[in-house]
Structure 1
Amino acid sequence: MSDYLVKAVAYEGTIRAYAVRSTDTVAEVQRRHDLWPTATAALGRTMTAAAMMGAMAKGNDKLTLKVEGNGPIGAMVVDANANGEVRGYATNPHVHFELNEHGKLDVRRAVGTEGMLTVVKDLGLRDFFTGQVPLISGEIAEDFTQYFVVSEQVPSAVGLGVLVNPDNTVKAAGGFIIQVMPGATDETISVLEEKISTVDPISKLIDRGLTPEEILGEVLGTEQVTVLDRLDVEFSCNCSKERFGNAIIGLGEKEIREMIEEDGKAEAHCHFCLETYTYSKDELEGFIDEIRSQS
Structure 2
Amino acid sequence: MGKLIRGLSENGGIVFCSVDSTDIACKAEQLHTTSATCSAALGRLLTGASLMGSMLKDDRDTITLRVSGNGPAGVVIACTDGTGNVKGCIDHPLVELPAKANGHLDVGGAVGKDGVLTVIRDNRLQKEPTVGQVPLVSGEIAEDITSYYAYSEQVPTVCALGVLVDKDLSISCAGGYLLQLLPGATDAEITQLEQNIAAMPSVTEMLHAGKTPEDMMNLAMAGFNPSVLDEREVRYQCDCSRERTEQMLLSLGRKELEKLRDEDPHCEVVCHFCHTKYEFDLNKLVKKAVEKAAPASENAEN
The alignment's TM-score, normalised by the length of structure 2, stands at 0.94
Equivalent residues in 2 for 1:189-228 (5 A)? Answer: 189-221=190-222, 224-228=225-229
Is the partner of 2:251 in helix, strand or coil?
helix
Deviations 1:200-222 (A, max 9, x none): 11121111121110111122228
Aligned to 1:288: 289
Is the partner of 2:37 in helix, strand or coil?
helix
Q: Please, which moves more after superposition, 33-42 or 257-266?
A: 257-266
Structure 2 distance, partners of 1:272, 1:3, is 18
Shift in Å, 1:294: 3.1
1:75 aligns with 2:79: no
Structure 2 distance, partners of 1:292, 1:207, is 58
Aligned to 2:256: 255
Question: Are the equivalent residues in 1 in contact too, given 2:113–2:139 (CA < 8 A)?
Answer: yes
Identity of aligned residues (%): 38
Aligned to 2:268: 267
Aligned to 1:19: 18
Is the partner of 2:219 in helix, strand or coil?
helix
Q: Please, which moves more after superposition, 37-46 or 278-287?
A: 278-287
Question: Are the equivalent residues in 2 in contact too, given 1:68–1:76 (CA < 8 A)?
Answer: yes
Aligned to 2:176: 175
1:48 aligns with 2:47: yes
Shift in Å, 1:154: 0.5
Aligned to 1:233: 234
Aligned to 2:66: 66
Aligned to 2:162: 161
Aligned to 2:300: none
RMSD between aligned alpha carbons? 1.4
Question: Are the equivalent residues in 2 in contact too, given 1:253–1:291 (CA < 8 A)?
Answer: no
Aligned residue identity for 2:81: N
Q: Please, which moves more after superposition, 129-138 or 200-209?
A: 200-209
Deviations 1:137-194 (A, max 9, x none): 1111111111111111110111000000111111100000111111211111100001
Shift in Å, 1:248: 1.0
Is the partner of 1:224 in helix, strand or coil?
coil
Question: Are the equivalent residues in 2 in contact too, given 1:267–1:277 (CA < 8 A)?
Answer: yes
Structure 2 distance, partners of 1:222, 1:233, is 29
Deviations 1:211-242 (A, max 9, x none): 11011112222872210011211011111111
How many pairs align? Answer: 294
Aligned to 1:100: 100
The alignment's TM-score, normalised by the length of structure 1, stands at 0.96
Q: Please, which moves more after superposition, 156-165 or 285-294?
A: 285-294
Question: Are the equivalent residues in 2 in contact too, given 1:64–1:121 (CA < 8 A)?
Answer: yes
Question: Are the equivalent residues in 1 in contact too, given 2:5–2:230 (CA < 8 A)?
Answer: yes
Aligned to 2:189: 188
Shift in Å, 1:261: 2.1
Shift in Å, 1:290: 3.0
Name stretches of at least 5 consecutive residues in structure 1 with no aligned partner. none
Shift in Å, 1:278: 0.6
Question: Are the equivalent residues in 1 in contact too, given 2:10–2:227 (CA < 8 A)?
Answer: no
